[in-house]
Amino acid sequence: MLNPIQVLSSDITSLSLEPEPFASYTEADIISTVEFNHTGELLATGDKGGRVVIFQREPECKTEPYSQGEYNVYSTFQSHEPEFDYLKSLEIEEKINKIRWLPQQNAAHFLLSTNDKTIKLWKVSERDKRPEGYNLKDEEGRIKDLSTVTSLQVPVLKPMDLMVEVSPRRVFANAHTYHVNSISVNSDHETYMSADDLRINLWHLGITDRSFNIVDIKPVNMEDLTEVITAAEFHPHHCNLLVYSSSKGTLRLCDMREAALCDKHSKLFEEPEDPSNRSFFSEIISSVSDVKFSHSGRYLLTRDYLTAKVWDLNMENKPLEIYQVHDYLRSKLCSLYENDCIFDKFECAWNGSDSVIMTGAYNNFFRMFDRNTKRDVTLEASRESSKPRAVLKPRRVCQGGKRRKDDISVDSLDFTKKILHTAWHPTENIIAIAATNNLYIFQDKLNQEMHG
């Protein structure tokens, strides 16, 4: 059995072009979402500049055992552009909030990418042959002089250098008044949902001019607003079930069979607040930033500011497991509020077997928790510690008391280096970590050895 905690070797692919230490990046280079496709062969990242970069895993090469499994750039395209809403005098950011792959049904790959307002369906296809031997035009495409055509030929397909073409197939626009925070493809492979702060819409992948509103929590009087939707996801197997999380720390499971409008939840997952932990910022830190179904569909993983929680769908009154990600920040909430870090939205991820959960933290740290052994590890995604095929060393944050060598104290954490977006390969122990403008891909050493 692979030990997923020993994430050791690494393969760095940086999206910034300048070498360290002079590397500087623009805000547009900051990665805003990371997502593996369903086979794990492709990895897509979106950034604040509206670009999508797709990486493809190189097929394993038996002759060179160390080069197998690396991810290289497959395609880059501009998904969204900045827009201006003239009616409201608001600029619409081009930042890619989420990317979701569609299950592959033919040779082409499809993905959905969304910014604050518009969702787009992109087709990613390869072209490695091109037709040659046209009658009416020559090799360069110029129209032939008809008088030179003496015989007819049937064009034939000849191999060419691989070209990856990306084209927008659908644009789902004008359906959201508020900022879209999540998209999720249904297990029926025909529909998907998009969620903004107050509403969730159900779309058909083939129809762009209308969508169904299935959840609406907007109050009649906006001044009565108390919570917003922060994340939403469809159940991996049951096409009628979806879950959405709120800023109050609650999760609602909705069944679309019950009613057309799923305002009334089927299940409400809520943990009563601990009154001893009450502070000015209790509401902020209880806001759920991400929710993910387990691959089995039995569990939910949620992330709030300080913890990650695993919920059992059959138990609504409290989570099954609570993992403290960086509880040492609890005493620093006020300064984190001042510098806006308290509003950071960390994502979380399951491994393929639902035995390990992973989430990011500050100082380019990310954490993994093994649900079975209850062990956890803190690792760092940085250039210095992530030379190719280097072994990642577990890190520790000390909170006073005995300080070991290489420990980092809470006060020396760099809060500008935050790992908000992480992704785990669907079947193997390969993880993708987005650290500001850099993407790190780590692989389990044991995994490598098994394949090597």
Residue 272: burial class (beta carbons within 10 Å; 0-12, 13-18, 19+): exposed
Q: Which of 340, 372, 400, 412 touches other proteins by CB under 8 A?
A: 340
Tell me which stretch binds other proteins (CB under 8 A): 135-143, 221-229, 318-326, 410-418. Answer: 221-229
Task: Decide if residue 290 touches other proteins (CB under 8 A).
Answer: no
Minimum CB–partner distance for residue 345 and other proteins (Å): 9
Quote the CA–CA distance of 299 and 301 in Å, as a whole number. Answer: 7
Tell me which stretch binds other proteins (CB under 8 A): 144-152, 331-339, 362-370, 388-396. Answer: 331-339
Task: Decide if residue 86 touches other proteins (CB under 8 A).
Answer: no
Which residue, 136 or 222, has its beta carbon nearer to other proteins? 222
Minimum CB–partner distance for residue 309 and other proteins (Å): 19
236-265 residues in contact with other proteins (CB under 8 A) are 247
Q: Which two tokens stand for residue 359?
A: 């989430």
Site string for other proteins, 168-187 (x = CB under 8 A): ---------xxx-x------
Minimum CB–partner distance for residue 329 and other proteins (Å): 16
Task: Decide if residue 415 touches other proteins (CB under 8 A).
Answer: no
Minimum CB–partner distance for residue 319 and other proteins (Å): 21
- 299 strand-pairing partners: 312
Quick one: which H or E segment has residue 435? Answer: strand 430-435
CA gyration radius, the chain: 24
Which residue, 31 or 342, has its beta carbon nearer to other proteins? 342
Quote the CA–CA distance of 212 and 175 in Å, as a whole number. Answer: 9
Minimum CB–partner distance for residue 379 and other proteins (Å): 29
Task: Decide if residue 337 touches other proteins (CB under 8 A).
Answer: yes
- 212 strand-pairing partners: 202
Q: Which of 7, 54, 228, 408 touches other proteins by CB under 8 A?
A: 228
DSSP three-state, residue 175? coil
Which residue, 176 or 421, has its beta carbon nearer to other proteins? 176
Task: Decide if residue 287 touches other proteins (CB under 8 A).
Answer: yes
Q: Which two tokens stand for residue 71?
A: 């991810």
Contacts of 227 (CB under 8 A, 6+ apart): 217, 246, 247, 248, 250
Quote the CA–CA distance of 196 and 138 in Å, as a whole number. Answer: 52
Which residue, 135 or 177, has its beta carbon nearer to other proteins? 177
Minimum CB–partner distance for residue 283 and other proteins (Å): 4
Task: Decide if residue 222 touches other proteins (CB under 8 A).
Answer: yes
For the sheet with 191-195, list strands across it. 182-185, 191-195, 199-204, 212-216
Minimum CB–partner distance for residue 182 and other proteins (Å): 12
Quote the CA–CA distance of 111 and 109 in Å, as a whole number. Answer: 7
| Contact predicate 101/109, CB 8 Å | yes
Q: What are phi and psi of 6, to 5 degrees?
A: -85, 70
Which residue, 41 or 47, has its beta carbon nearer to other proteins? 47
Quote the CA–CA distance of 240 and 254 in Å, as a whole number. Answer: 8
Quote the CA–CA distance of 299 and 320 in Å, as a whole number. Answer: 9
Task: Decide if residue 33 touches other proteins (CB under 8 A).
Answer: no
Alpha-carbon separation of residue 373 from 70, 319, 349, 356, 369 (angstroms): 29, 18, 18, 10, 9
Task: Decide if residue 194 touches other proteins (CB under 8 A).
Answer: no
Sites of contact with other proteins (CB under 8 A):
85, 88, 90-93, 95, 116, 177-179, 181, 197-198, 222-223, 225-228, 230, 247, 280-284, 287, 334, 337-338, 340, 343
